[in-house]
Amino acid sequence: MRSSVIVFPGSNCDRDIAVALQRMQFKNKMIWHKETSLPKSDLIVIPGGFSYGDYLRSGAIAGKSLIINEVIKAAKSGCLILGICNGFQILTETGMLKGTLLRNKNLKFINRDVNIRVMNNKTRFTSKYKLNQVLNLNIAHNEGNYYTDSNHLEQLKKDNLIAFKYSDSNGNTDDKFNPNGAIENIAGIFNDKKNILGMMPHPERMVDELISNSDGINLFSSLLD
Amino acid sequence: MKFSVTVTLKKNVLDPQGKVVENTLKNLGMLNLKSIRQGKFFEIEIEEKNEEVAKKKVNEMCIKLLVNLIIEDYKIDIVK
Closest CA to A34 of A5, A3, A8, A60: A8
Q: Phi/psi of residue B36, each to 5°?
A: -135, 135
Give the percent of chain A with pLDDT over 90.
98
Question: pLDDT-derived band of residue A225, with 50, 70 and 90 as boundaries?
Answer: confident
* A192 in contact with B, Cβ within 8 Å: no
Per the CB < 8 A criterion, the answer to whether A201 and A164 are in contact is yes
What average pLDDT does range A84-89 have in this prediction?
98
**Region for A156 from its dihedrals, namely left if φ exceeds 0, alpha if ψ lies in -120 to 50, beta otherwise:** alpha
pLDDT at B12: 87
pLDDT at B35: 92
Q: Which of B16, B64, B66 sits opposite A107 (nearest CB)?
A: B16
Per the CB < 8 A criterion, the answer to whether A191 and A96 are in contact is yes
Chain A residue with CA closest to B65: the answer is: A60
Instruction: Chain A: give the shortest CA distance to residue B69, in Å.
Output: 10
Inter-chain CB proximity A100 and B70 less than 8 Å: yes
Q: What is the pLDDT of residues B26-43, one digit of tens each?
A: 999 998 999 999 999 999
Average pLDDT, chain A: 96
pLDDT at B80: 84
Question: pLDDT-derived band of residue A17, with 50, 70 and 90 as boundaries?
Answer: very high
Average pLDDT, chain B: 94
What average pLDDT does range B62-66 have in this prediction?
96
Q: What is the pLDDT of residues B15-25, one digit of tens each?
A: 888 988 999 99
Report the helix count and the strand count for chain B, using DSSP H and E: 2, 3
pLDDT at B14: 84
pLDDT at A180: 97
Q: Which of B16, B20, B71 sits opposite A147 (nearest CB)?
A: B71
| Residue A204 annotated as catalytic | yes
Range A2-224: architecture per CATH = 3-Layer(aba) Sandwich (3.40)
| Residue A85 annotated as catalytic | yes
Task: Compute CA distances B75 → A99, B2, B44, B53, B65, whole Å.
Answer: 22, 14, 13, 17, 14
A148 contacts in chain B (CB < 8 Å)? 70
Q: Report the C-alpha gap between A66 and A83 in whole angstroms.
A: 17
Q: Which residue segment(s) compose the domain that B38 sits in?
A: 2-79
Chain A residue with CA closest to B20: the answer is: A107
* A35 in contact with B, Cβ within 8 Å: no
Question: pLDDT-derived band of residue A195, with 50, 70 and 90 as boundaries?
Answer: very high
What average pLDDT does range A22-37 have in this prediction?
95
Q: Phi/psi of residue A134, each to 5°?
A: -100, 125
Give the residue extent of every domain in chain A: 2-224
Which CATH number characterizes residue B6's domain? 3.30.1280.10
Q: Which of B16, B17, B68 sits opposite A100 (nearest CB)?
A: B68
**ipTM for the predicted complex:** 0.81
Chain B residues contacting A, CB < 8 Å?
A: 13-14, 16-17, 20, 64-66, 68, 70-71
